[in-house]
Structure 1
Amino acid sequence: MSDENAKCSIASRPISDFRLSIITLLGVSAFLGITPFAVMRYLQGNLLAGLVDTTILLGICSALVYAWVTGDTRRSGVVVASVACGGAVVVGIVVGEPGLFWLYPCLVTTFFLVNPRIAVALNIASVIALMVHGGAFRSDVQMWSFASTAFVVSACAYVFAHRNHDQRERLEHLATIDPLTGIKNRRSMDQELDLAAANAERTGLPYALVMLDIDHFKKINDEHGHGVGDGVLTDLVALLKQNTRKSDQLFRYGGEEFVLLLPGVDGIGLKAVMNNLQQVLRKYMKHPGGSVTASFGVALLEHGESVDSWLARADAALYEAKEAGRDRVVFADAQRTPELAAETA
């Protein structure tokens, strides 16, 4: 991945990772909101309250840095939620009644940082801790009023966070899944190929990329209608999924063109896989006008090769297969590895 792409990826992470955006927002808010109070309390000579504020700020900022560096927002979320709630309780105990207000934003953000069970446990523990100590309340009426409002805030936050989670899952599904075939789309493919390339560099595991295109698909649509064409696409996907491994990934690249990512295969094994897929499609793919065939372009990922180059070589091999008469497999690296000679019909 180029430096420019890496920078774009880093810049877009808060947009694509909701929990990271919450952690980042809370970290920035903590820095802007807590720092002035910490400075003020040090200037006033209230060292204990100043140390509490400083500890909370350092805890949240450390978790924020950890989340950005490692990408582990789950653990970071637990740390931020725990530090925020625990810190709010300590502030309430040390400062008294004014410190109670710090707990309310914590009661809301916990549901966006951790799973609901942990969030409920943190919120209940925070409120009970303040009630048991009791020093922040002027009367029992105020204490129970605080507990009631904390419960209402937590309940509303839970409902909102739950609905938000469902909506984000639906949007993610729509953004990454092809609605007709039910397989991953090109956006998902880009992400998975980046991961595959990184894993290949790290482990040396071979990866093969297959681009396949249904032969004369436009003719099928024109002569038999788009409904029949859609059926051919779904039948193709079903056959490919039945005849590939769980570790293999299939993507719809666009129209009648698909991409198959095959980890851990190369050489003669890859040739056997492609021959099998070609024979399966020849045997079982049908439409009202007769049999359906496909053309294949195959490229093995080379050491240090970019994803764009990898895709381009597979696409060039597919173009060669179609130019040579269709219904055949062409290996992009046939010149480098003669045993992967182009397979013809």
Structure 2
Amino acid sequence: MGKKYKLQADHTDAILDIRRQKQVLKFVAATTLIFFVPIGINNILIGEVMLGAILLTFEITLLLEVSAIVYKRKGFFGHTLPLILLVTSMIMAIHIFGTLATYWVFPIIISVVFLLPIKLALSANVILLIGCTLAALPHQHLATTSRYAFSLLATAVIAHVIVQAIKRLQKELRYLSERDSLTGALNRHELQEHLENVCTNYPISSVALIDIDNFKKINDQYGHDVGDKVIKQVVGVMYRHMEESDLLFRLGGDEFLLVLPERDQFAAKNTMIYTGQHIEQSEYPEEAKVTISSGVAQLVNKESVEDWVKRADIALYQSKHNGRNKVSLYSGPLPSNKEKETSKFLI
């Protein structure tokens, strides 16, 4: 089996999504090119060859890394080498030029927090704080250097606190945008994108369309509050018996779609039979009797997402037609255009 399918995105330590990361990195690269290259050349000309060489090497490594990220290629060095060169050049500059070079550290601290993973940013800022303070000490009174150190510390702490607050808010907003508020299942907002990704990268995969049997009767007999509890409990059972790579979407009401990457229709059918048994055996409010019907379809080579889902829809209809509380496989020809137009599950 290949790598497990996971939710995308962008759900990483970074504060910016990929597109905005590229935009910001282009700006950073252009800004450093304008400032650091002339400074590096000037240092070489005035005899500070080591400092000038480090600044120019930093700029070269940064440009290479940004180019790799922008054009979706594998990076040459990762974050580490450009960061080491940048931190080293700042400490050296303060050691050589004193107070004149200390002002560059503040924008660097903030940029590091916004652009790099938190552990790397923390490490870099701790080294910057200690190194720049020690480098500045011979050039200033102790009181002045202490104020400088505290101002660096305050800048780093405030930047880290703000960025972490933004990341937490982003995580909450992302969850609300992707998840159904009642059940916690994924909503259909990103269903098309995930299905297309599975079609492209996981050719042996299946989907299952799922209906809670006679759910309207449960609502009519016991009320919508009980109906909501039943739906939440059914989803909870499904999550307990899903693989880590599976994706469960709520399409609306009592209708769900389960994506099973890297599983053929027979493995998917076994999963649905097993899950259906546990749903039927669970205890529900008001002693409601709950079962599910499902239709399973395996991805066919060069098949569209719409055809794939439609075949699962037809299989679900077969399960209902045969008495409900069943799992059916789609085994017929690809659906016609007329059949696709009648599917309520088209995305």
Q: TM-score, normalized by length of structure 2?
A: 0.73
Residue 318 of structure 1, aligned match among 283, 302, 316: 316
Deviations 1:258-308 (A, max 9, x none): 112224433544444444444544555767595334332211112343444
Sequence identity percentage: 25
- Corresponding residue for 1:340? none
In 2, Cα distance between the equivalents of 1:136 and 1:308?
70
Report if the CA contact (8 A) 2:29-2:66 is conserved.
no
Distance in 2 (alpha carbons) for counterparts of 1:213 and 1:52: 64
Partner of 2:252: 254
Question: Is there any run of 5+ residues in structure 2 with no aligned partner, and where?
Answer: 1-7, 335-347
Say whether 1:297 aligns with 2:295.
yes
Residue 167 to residue 286, structure 1, CA distance change in 2 (3 Å): closer
Partner of 1:32: 31
Report if the CA contact (8 A) 1:92-1:136 is conserved: no
State the SS of the aligned residue for 1:291. coil
Structure 2 residue corresponding to 1:173, chosen from 147, 166, 175: 175
Q: Please say which of residues 312-321 and 147-156 is displaced more in the overlay.
A: 312-321
SS at match of 2:182: coil
1:232-267 per-position Cα deviation (integer Å, ceiling 9, x unaligned): 212211332344445544332322111122244335
CA drift at 1:330: 3.5
Alpha-carbon distance, 1:312 to partner: 3.5
Distance 1:323 1:64, change over 3 A: farther
Q: 5+ residue gaps in structure 1?
A: 1-8, 337-345
Paired letter, 2:88: G
**1:80 deviation in Å?**
5.4
Contact 1:52/1:91, CA 8 A, preserved across alignment: no
| Inter-CA distance 234–19: structure 2 relative to 1 (3 Å threshold) | closer
Indicate how the Cα distance of structure 1 residues 253 and 69 shifts in structure 2: closer, same or farther if over 3 A, else same.
farther
- Which residue in the other structure is 2:340 paired with? none
Among 219, 222, 229, the alignment partner of 2:227 is 229
Amino acid at match of 2:164: H
**Cα deviation digits, residues 184-218 of structure 1 (max 9, x gap):** 333465554344334425xxxx2111011223333
The aligned counterpart of 2:16 is: 18
1:123-161 CA deviation, whole Å, 9 max, x = no partner? 232233334444993554443332221111112112212
Q: Greater relative contact order: 1 or 2 (C-alpha under 8 angstroms, separation 6 or more)?
A: 2
User: What is the aligned counterpart of 2:56 among 32, 54, 57?
Assistant: 54
Q: Indicate the SS of the match to 1:182.
A: coil
Q: Cα RMSD (Å) of the superposition?
A: 4.0
The code of the aligned residue for 1:241 comes to Y
- Once the 2 structures are TM-superposed, how far is the Cα of residue 230 of structure 1 from its aligned partner? 0.4
Q: Are the counterparts in 2 of residues 24 and 64 from structure 1 also a CA contact under 8 Å?
A: no
The answer for the alignment partner of 2:345 in structure 1 is none
Instruction: Give the number of equivalent residue pairs.
Output: 321
| Distance in structure 1 (CA, Å) of the matches to 2:82 and 2:320 | 56
* TM-score, with length taken from structure 1: 0.73
Q: 1:99 aligns with which of 91, 98, 101?
A: 101
